Amino acid sequence: MNDQRPPKSMVLVGLMSGTSLDGVTAAVVRFDEVDGRITHELLAHIDRAYDAATRTRLAAALEGATPSEYTRLDFAVGGMLADAAVAVIAESGVERERIAAIASHGHTVWHEAPLGTWQFGQPAVIAERTGIDVIADFRVRDVAAGGQGAPLVPIADALLFADDAKWRVLQNLGGIGNLTVVPPRAKMGDDFDGVRAFDTGPGVCVMDGVTRLLRPSLPYDVNGALAMKGTPIDAVIEALLKDAWYALEPPKSTGRERYTAAFIADFVARCRAARAGCTDEDIVCTAAWFTARSIALAFERFVPQPVDDVLLSGGGARNPVLREAIAMALSPRHVRPFDRVFFDGDAKEAVAFAFLGWLHLQRRAGNVPRATGARGPRVLGALFPK
């Protein structure tokens, strides 16, 4: 009888477009499994920024658009993802025939679990343009199983980025903030006992939103230049953190459906009202500290484990003001960028979705039910053949 089991060693492409609206990240990753331990090697990664017109279209889609615009944007983002896949494969030097599959998260348009979730980036377009199998729609199966459909990176955090001896939290700072609590590798069973994960609130979406509103020429607060010149307005932060969502027990998730354009405008108005002579820099600084304080609140309420090591990844990890605010808010824990321990943190989520694609091809579950609230482990993603 022929052995139809897939090989353990595979090269996949991971594609990610985050809620920060900054652009597409693509990564080429080799995975292998030896004696039950999974290894990974990042062969190449690229970031491709969205132009202002695309960011405007994606932001407008979150507020409501016509069926025609949704359809066109779905195909347009699929084309951008395909272009990024082609470029990163060329960067890696790996022949296309050796790529087992492209794993695409796409771009989240709306996330309202457990009622539904919707990602742009038509997988058929990616398969057609690259001539490579595509795995996509990773979130929907977990949502269909009663889960939040997010976060989905915990299985990568647990299997690829755990420490051998100590508890670790991996904090992502994309558009939305989310964390994964990972026990020492020796204490983590096959059912991922001890692994917990949930969204913490805003990552950079509020910071980016207020920056774009106040300084339309800027895509975000580059190098924290604005926030560095401001001082946070504590009264605004305290009022916003009273929102009942922050007190909800995990599993929980959120997205731009919470941090809308109206939320951003209200945030600016609150800051202006709370401080006489409030500057733009004060508002951006307040947004950074709002993110940091929301993360600290999540630790205080929902992370009882003896965590000392916190790794930051995502676009927000490049902002020195946000990094310092988080380090101060989580003191005395050791807070440092993800790339101090592993690879460039900007590639982390693309690597995680490449790993979810590897798990799909192995017919293994990609969700952690304790993290998402799903009824059980599920193989995630749908295959779109080349």
Could you tell me if 314 and 346 are in contact, meaning their C-beta atoms sit under 8 angstroms apart? Answer: yes
- The DSSP bridge partners found for residue 23 are 49
Sign of CA dihedral 80, 206, 229, 275: positive
Q: Tell me, what's the pLDDT at 190?
A: 73
Residue 178's closest CA among 158, 195, 203, 160?
Answer: 203
Could you report how far apart the first and last alpha carbons of the chain are, in Å? 27
**Burial zone of 306 (CB within 10 Å; 0-12 exposed, 13-18 middle, 19+ buried):** exposed
Cα-Cα-Cα-Cα dihedral sign, residues 350, 356, 359, 361: negative
* Sign of torsion over alpha carbons 144, 148, 149, 155: negative
Distance of CA 386 to the CA centre of its chain: 27
3 state DSSP class of 114 = coil
pLDDT value for 47? 95
Q: Give me the pLDDT at residue 1, please.
A: 39
Contacts for 302-305: CB closer than 8 Å, 24+ residues apart: 302/196, 302/198, 302/249, 302/250, 303/169, 303/179, 303/181, 303/196, 305/167, 305/181, 305/183, 305/194
Residue ranges of the chain with pLDDT lower than 50? Answer: 1-2
The span from the CA of 150 to the CA of 111, in Å, is 9
* pLDDT on residue 4: 66
**Tally of CA atoms within 13 A in the half-sphere of 93 that contains its CB:** 2
Confidence at residue 194, expressed as pLDDT on a 0 to 100 scale: 87
Give the SS3 label for residue 194: coil
Please list, residue by residue across 201-222, b when 16 or more beta carbons sit within 10 angstroms of its beta carbon and e when fewer do.
bbbbbbbbbbbbebeeeebbbe
The pLDDT value recorded for residue 3 is 52
CA pair distance 80, 27, nearest whole angstrom: 14
Task: Provide the token pair at 87.
Answer: 């470029």
Positive or negative CA dihedral for 141, 345, 208, 77? negative
- What pLDDT is recorded for position 22? 83
Predicted confidence at residue 64, as pLDDT, reads 85
Runs of H (alpha helix) within the chain = 52-63, 67-92, 123-130, 138-144, 154-160, 205-214, 234-240, 261-274, 280-302, 320-329, 348-361, 369-372
Closest CA to 36 of 190, 254, 223, 184: 190
Q: Are 149 and 367 in contact (CB under 8 A)?
A: no
How far is the C-alpha of 325 from the C-alpha of 227, rounded, in Å? Answer: 11
Q: Contact at 8 Å (CB) between 352 and 19?
A: no
Joined together, the tokens standing for residue 236 give: 């605004």
Structural domains in the chain, sorted by start: 10-149+346-384 (3.30.420.40), 162-340 (3.30.420.40)
Question: Which pLDDT score is estimated for 2?
Answer: 47
